[in-house]
Chains A and B, each alone.
Chain A
Amino acid sequence: MSMESYPQSRLSIFLESDLYYRFRTSRITVSAAIVTALILLAALLAPWIAPHTPFDVTTLSLWDSELPPVWVEGGDPRFVLGTDNQGRDVLSAILYGSRISLFVGFVSVAFAMVIGIVIGLISGYFGGAIDAFFMRIADVMLSFPTILVALLVSGIARGALPREMHDSAALVVLVFAITITTWVQYARTVRSSTMVERSREYVYAAQLVGRQPFAILFSHILPNVMGPVLVIATINLAMAILIEATLSFLGVGMPPTNPSLGTLIRVGNEYLFSGVWWVVIFPSLTLVVLVLAVNLLGDWLRDALNPKLR
């Protein structure tokens, strides 16, 4: 059987690769990908597909409060998943909430990745005192659990901002806090790759010719290191979503006026004992499914890219 037929297009190289093979033969991974895509889509289109706008106070009516889901007795087909104690539609709240959760997740991962890669490149390339400085910071940060650092950053931000701004700045503070806690892993991976490449001959050769070695490093190292970086990114995405949800649940994340899934869970938790279970359960389910899907995708990526398992 012959597998070499040159030249091959990039697409066919990908389609024949181990990576893709493991993807399409794993039903779980494919399901996970579909679910993630669905949730992403729903969240993106929230303003258009949500049946209500739960945070526009003028559309709310207390008559509609605490309605159970439509399949339970007393339910109302206008509010498929029920309402909370202020009459807000749970389904719409989930759609908007997922939007925020995903936004914070993706943006903080993107920022952390960029910052981490840049610091890693600089640290690995220049070495010496600069490297020591960054790596010290990284060590200290890694020795603390992420949730703690995120809480601290959040708390400091609140202390620094006047009280009135807490709610409106919550999004920015959250993204900032999560970015700060997660850049380290990227930096380390990129740094070690950079250090390996820096001593290679082509860098020296480029220096002789007068090219900027930094530019070369950039164009050579990045492709090499994107594999592990992507794996870290998927793990971090799940983690970022969880951290945001946790912070919001604890009351120091998104406020109830612009809630993420975590805030919704917290709000719902407060009247759990009075038997209103749907306000807590549905956002929780959504969150769990989302994180699970992302984790499964991350597992697939990790297994497929792991040279030891080939």
Chain B
Amino acid sequence: MIAFVLRRLIQSVLVMLAVALIAFTMFRFVGDPVNSMLPENASSEQRTQLSEQLGLDRPVIVQFARFVTGAVQGDFGISYRNKRPVAEMIAERLPATLELVLAAAVFALSLGVPMGIYTALHPKGVISNLLQTVSLIGISVPTFVTGILLILVFSVWLNWLPSFGRGDTVQLGWWSTGFLTWTGLKSLVLPAVMLGLFQITLIMRLVRAEMMEVLRSDFVRFARARGLTNGAVHFGHALGNTLMPVITIVGLQLGSMIAFAIITETVFQWPGMGLLFIQAVSFADIPVMSAYLVMVALMFVAINMIVDLLYFAIDPRMSASA
């Protein structure tokens, strides 16, 4: 068990280093940092000064080392556009994105899993076909169109929910939360629904496919042959085996939700990391881009690790063979 954890830790560190390398390469070699940070009419002394300050005259390996040590301590340099430390900008916006993703995940799971189970148990029913069709349309509609439609219906026509911003937030230490205010919660609804909607169709199809596969398996057949009730077979035997691979995929989906938050934040002007990233891309603000990359990679790696450990803990086959 310990060996497993150690191995995964080392793998994670390696992946992070690889990502850091890419981020660093972007940071250093795409465009010209000195030119981008100084105004057009800066003197050549100012340029050389900045160049030395950034350590651009040192060997590349040293620069990389500086980059990594800086990143580990949370220093990602200065944004080309805002002239503020990137780390500060990201820290400000991290809570917004994370809360959004959490809300969306809860929404998606609480609808997707039951729907998936239902369509697996009643594959030919009317409701099943309806849900299937809706889900097929669901993955064909681009997320931003869903968002626009939501805004159209709930903000423009019905005027029930706000369509931009986060509402009022409460500051808890360095974390600003929107969960504790009424406007905060109201502002969260539409973006969370938009982000989660896409996932619902995915989760539903996944749970359905897994469950149908499990229902065809030998031990389910044997359970039926022993005369166990439908409830016992479906929920006792089939569900457990279905949810295990689903957990892994849902974990991975969390990561992809963090990325898709970019779109949601753009549509709703939600002040999160994603919106920051998009603005950085349009302005070729490389430090922000590379910092975002590292942060997101870190989150992915952490999520992967947790999912693996979770699998390990739950599946009796794995802990026995460790």
Question: For B31, what are the chain A residues with a Cβ–Cβ distance below 8 Å?
Answer: 159-160
- How many chain A residues touch the partner (CB < 8 A)? 37
Please measure, in the bound complex, the distance between the C-alpha atom of A298 and the C-alpha atom of B30, giving whole angstroms. 39
Please measure, in the bound complex, the distance between the C-alpha atom of A143 and the C-alpha atom of B143, giving whole angstroms. 21
B280 at the binding interface (Cβ < 8 Å) = yes
Q: Shortest Cβ distance from A123 into chain B, in angstroms? A: 19
Question: For B148, what are the chain A residues with a Cβ–Cβ distance below 8 Å?
Answer: 265, 269, 272, 280, 284
Q: Would A291 and B142 be within 8 Å (CB), given that A147-B260, A158-B281, A269-B148 are in contact?
A: yes
Question: For A240, what are the chain B residues with a Cβ–Cβ distance below 8 Å?
Answer: none
Please state if B284 and A287 are interface contacts (CB–CB under 8 Å). Answer: no
Please state if A288 and B156 are interface contacts (CB–CB under 8 Å). Answer: no
B151 at the binding interface (Cβ < 8 Å) = yes
Please state if B281 and A154 are interface contacts (CB–CB under 8 Å). Answer: yes
**Binary CB contact string for chain A from 276 to 310 against chain B (1 if under 8 A, 0 otherwise):** 01001000100110011001100100000000000
> Among residues 250 to 286 in chain A, which have CB atoms less than 8 Å away from a CB atom of chain B?
250-252, 262, 265, 269, 272-273, 277, 280, 284
Please state if A238 and B140 are interface contacts (CB–CB under 8 Å). Answer: yes
A148 at the binding interface (Cβ < 8 Å) = yes
**Binary CB contact string for chain A from 140 to 167 against chain B (1 if under 8 A, 0 otherwise):** 1001110110011011101110000000
Please state if A144 and B300 are interface contacts (CB–CB under 8 Å). Answer: yes
* Closest partner residue, chain B, to A158 (CB atom): B284
Q: Shortest Cβ distance from B275 into chain A, in angstroms? A: 10
Q: Shortest Cβ distance from B28 into chain A, in angstroms? A: 11
Question: For B281, what are the chain A residues with a Cβ–Cβ distance below 8 Å?
Answer: 151, 154-155, 158, 250, 252
Q: Shortest Cβ distance from B248 into chain A, in angstroms? A: 13
Q: Would A145 and B152 be within 8 Å (CB), given that A155-B284, A159-B31, A252-B278 are in contact?
A: no
Please state if A140 and B259 are interface contacts (CB–CB under 8 Å). Answer: no
Please state if A143 and B145 are interface contacts (CB–CB under 8 Å). Answer: no
B321 at the binding interface (Cβ < 8 Å) = no
Q: Shortest Cβ distance from A72 into chain B, in angstroms? A: 17
Please state if A273 and B262 are interface contacts (CB–CB under 8 Å). Answer: no
Give the most central of A147, A156, A246, A269: most B CB within 10 Å.
A156
Please measure, in the bound complex, the distance between the C-alpha atom of A154 and the C-alpha atom of B304, giving whole angstroms. 26
Residue among A144, A154, A273, A288 making CB contact with B141, cutoff 8 Å: A288
B293 at the binding interface (Cβ < 8 Å) = yes
Q: Would A155 and B289 be within 8 Å (CB), given that A272-B148, A287-B142 are in contact?
A: yes
Residue among A152, A269, A291 making CB contact with B289, cutoff 8 Å: A152
Q: Would A292 and B136 be within 8 Å (CB), given that A245-B142, A265-B144, A280-B148 are in contact?
A: yes
Interface majority SS (helix, strand, loop, mixed), chain A? helix
A176 at the binding interface (Cβ < 8 Å) = no
A242 at the binding interface (Cβ < 8 Å) = yes
Question: For A96, what are the chain B residues with a Cβ–Cβ distance below 8 Å?
Answer: none
Residue among A273, A287, A295 making CB contact with B156, cutoff 8 Å: A273
Please state if B144 and A143 are interface contacts (CB–CB under 8 Å). Answer: no
Please state if B263 and A250 are interface contacts (CB–CB under 8 Å). Answer: yes
Please state if B260 and A295 are interface contacts (CB–CB under 8 Å). Answer: no
Question: For A262, what are the chain B residues with a Cβ–Cβ distance below 8 Å?
Answer: 142
Please measure, in the bound complex, the distance between the C-alpha atom of A137 and the C-alpha atom of B139, giving whole angstroms. 28
Please state if B300 and A147 are interface contacts (CB–CB under 8 Å). Answer: no
B37 at the binding interface (Cβ < 8 Å) = no
Question: For B137, what are the chain A residues with a Cβ–Cβ distance below 8 Å?
Answer: 288, 292
B162 at the binding interface (Cβ < 8 Å) = no
Please state if A155 and B280 are interface contacts (CB–CB under 8 Å). Answer: yes
Please measure, in the bound complex, the distance between the C-alpha atom of A156 and the C-alpha atom of B141, giving whole angstroms. 28
B282 at the binding interface (Cβ < 8 Å) = yes
A79 at the binding interface (Cβ < 8 Å) = no
Give the most central of A158, A159, A296: most B CB within 10 Å.
A159
A249 at the binding interface (Cβ < 8 Å) = yes
Q: Would A159 and B284 be within 8 Å (CB), given that A147-B260, A152-B293, A242-B142 are in contact?
A: yes
Please state if A288 and B140 are interface contacts (CB–CB under 8 Å). Answer: yes
**Binary CB contact string for chain B from 143 to 166 against chain A (1 if under 8 A, 0 otherwise):** 111001101100010000000000
Residue among B143, B145, B259, B280 making CB contact with A148, cutoff 8 Å: B259
Question: For B259, what are the chain A residues with a Cβ–Cβ distance below 8 Å?
Answer: 144-145, 147-148
* Closest partner residue, chain B, to A294 (CB atom): B140
Please state if A272 and B156 are interface contacts (CB–CB under 8 Å). Answer: yes
Q: Would A140 and B18 be within 8 Å (CB), given that A245-B142, A265-B148 are in contact?
A: yes
Residue among A250, A277, A295 making CB contact with B278, cutoff 8 Å: A250
Residue among A148, A156, A160, A251 making CB contact with B282, cutoff 8 Å: A251
Q: Shortest Cβ distance from B195 into chain A, in angstroms? A: 13
Can you list 16 A-B contacts with CB-CB less than 8 angstroms, sorted by A residue number? Answer: A140-B19, A144-B259, A147-B260, A152-B289, A155-B281, A250-B266, A250-B281, A252-B278, A252-B281, A252-B282, A262-B142, A265-B145, A272-B148, A284-B148, A288-B142, A292-B136
B residues sitting closer than 8 Å to A (CB atoms) are 15, 18-19, 26, 30-31, 136-137, 139-145, 148-149, 151-152, 156, 255-256, 259-260, 262-263, 266-267, 277-278, 280-282, 284, 286, 289, 293, 296-297, 300, 304
A residues sitting closer than 8 Å to B (CB atoms) are 140, 143-145, 147-148, 151-152, 154-156, 158-160, 238, 242, 245-246, 249-252, 262, 265, 269, 272-273, 277, 280, 284, 287-288, 291-292, 295-296, 299
| Minimum-distance CB pairs A-B, first 6 | A292-B140, A155-B281, A159-B284, A145-B256, A145-B259, A159-B30
